Copies of this chain bind each other. A is one copy, B any other.
Amino acid sequence: MNAPVMEVEVSLSERSYAVQIGTGLLESNPALLSLVQGRQVAIVTDTHVGPLYEGAVRKLVGAQASALITITLPAGEANKDWAHLNLIFDALLQAQMDRKCVIIALGGGVIGDMAGFAAAVYQRGVDFVQIPTTLLAQVDSSVGGKTAINHPLGKNMIGAFHQPRLVLADVGVLRTLPAREVSAGLAEVIKHGAIVDTDYLQLTEQTMPRLLALDPEALSAIVAGSVRIKAAVVAQDEREAGLRAILNFGHTFGHAIEAGLGYGQWLHGEAVGAGMVFAADLSTRLGLLGADERERLVATIAAAGLPVAGPRWDAARYVELMAVDKKAEQGTPKFVLLDGLGKTRVQRVADTPLHATLQACSTAALN
C-alpha cells in the first residue's frame, strides 16, 4: 500500500529545500527531474544499496541528465575516510564533471556524509541530492547539511555544512533494511521526541510495533515528524552555533562508545540509544529529570531494540574518549541534558555525578 507523499520545507533563505516523505518517490519524481535537467549527474552509493536501488535512480534521471555516472563505495562506517572520499573525486574528475554537476547520495548516513562532503568541496561546492535509504538517515542525517569524514583521531572531524537541494525519503526502501538498522534509526526518533516534543515521543511509543514491522503509513508519519523537528532546529541554527547542539543529546556518550569500540562495531544509532540512557541518568542525578521520566525513556529505547547500557569500561576511559569529541571545548565537554522530557539544557557537569553515571550505565558485557 502506498502512503501519501508529504513534503517538509527546510527554511534557510536561498539554501531552502524540500524533503519529500512517502512511497514511490523513485518511480517518478518531477522535482528531481527538473533539478538534474541537462546537467551532469553522479550517483554515489555503496556495495549494499547500489544493487538494490541504483537501477531505479539511474532509470529515473538517465533521460534528463547530460551525463550519468555511478560511483560505488564499499559499505560501512570504517570506510568513511579520506581514501574513499578521494575515489569520488577521482571518478568526478575522470568523467570531467563540471561545477554545475549534481551529486546524488544514495545510501545511508555514511554515503550521505561522504557524498555530501564531496559535493561541498568538489570545485569548491556543487549541488547534491539526498536519497537516504536507512531510517537513521531519513530521520536525521539527510536533513540539515552536516557532512563529514572521520579522521583516525576523531569522528566527523573533517567536514562542512553543505545543504542538499532536495531530499527524497522513500520509506518503501526501508523494507530491505536489516532489523538492527531499523532499531538504530529509531534511536534518533526517540531522541527528537525526548528533546523537544513529548507528543511525538508518545506517537513513537504507540506506533512502535508498526514501526518495527515497517508499516509504510506509520513510518511516513514518524519520518515526517522527525524531519519537521529537525528542520525547525536547523532553520534556527544552521551552523550549530547554539540551539542545534540539543540534537547531540546522547551523542557525547554515544561517540565515546563508538570510538572506544572502533567505528562500525555498534551502529551509530545503537551507541546513541545507550548514550541517551547515560544522558538521562545524568539528568536525573542533577535533579533535572524525574526518575519516572528516565524510566519511561529507557523503556522506549529498550522497546526499539536498542542497548540501554554502554560497554563495561571504567570512568577514566569514557572521560578520555569524550575529551577529543568535537563538542568538547578545550577539553571539558558540555552535555545536553533533559530538563524534564521535551526540554533540554546544555551545560558542563561536575566530576562526581558524571562518574556516577559512567559507572551506573556501563554495564554491558562485550563478547
Contacts and interface: CB of A to CB of B under 8 A. Distances in A.
B151 A89 contact: yes
A62 interface: no
B331 A96 contact: yes
Interface residues of A, number: 41
A363 interface: no
A328 B98 contact: yes
Contact of A323 (B96, B148, B331): B96
Interface stretch (A154-162, A213-221, A284-292): A154-162
How many copies of this chain?
2
A99 interface: yes
Interface centre among A86, A94, A98, A156 (most CB of B within 10 A): A98
B99 A329 contact: yes
Nearest to A148: B124
Interface string A80-110: 0010001001100110101110000000000
A367 to B, nearest CB: 31
Interface stretch (A70-78, A115-123, A222-230): A115-123
Contacts of A326: 98-99, 123
A239 interface: yes
- Dominant SS among interface residues on chain A: mixed
Interface in A110-167: 117, 120-125, 146-148, 151, 153-154, 156-161
B122 A157 contact: yes
A347 interface: no
Contact of A153 (B40, B90, B100, B330): B90
A324 interface: yes
Interface string A269-293: 0000000000000000000000000
Contacts of A124: 146-148, 156, 159-161, 239-240
A37 interface: no
A120 B162 CA distance: 12
A66 interface: yes
Contacts of A125: 160-161, 239
B157 A123 contact: yes
Nearest to A330: B98
A100 B329 CA distance: 8
Interface string A48-86: 000000000000000000110000000000000010001
A151 B100 contact: no
A329 B97 CA distance: 8
12 contacts: A67-B330, A89-B151, A93-B151, A93-B157, A99-B326, A99-B329, A120-B121, A122-B157, A123-B326, A124-B159, A124-B161, A125-B161
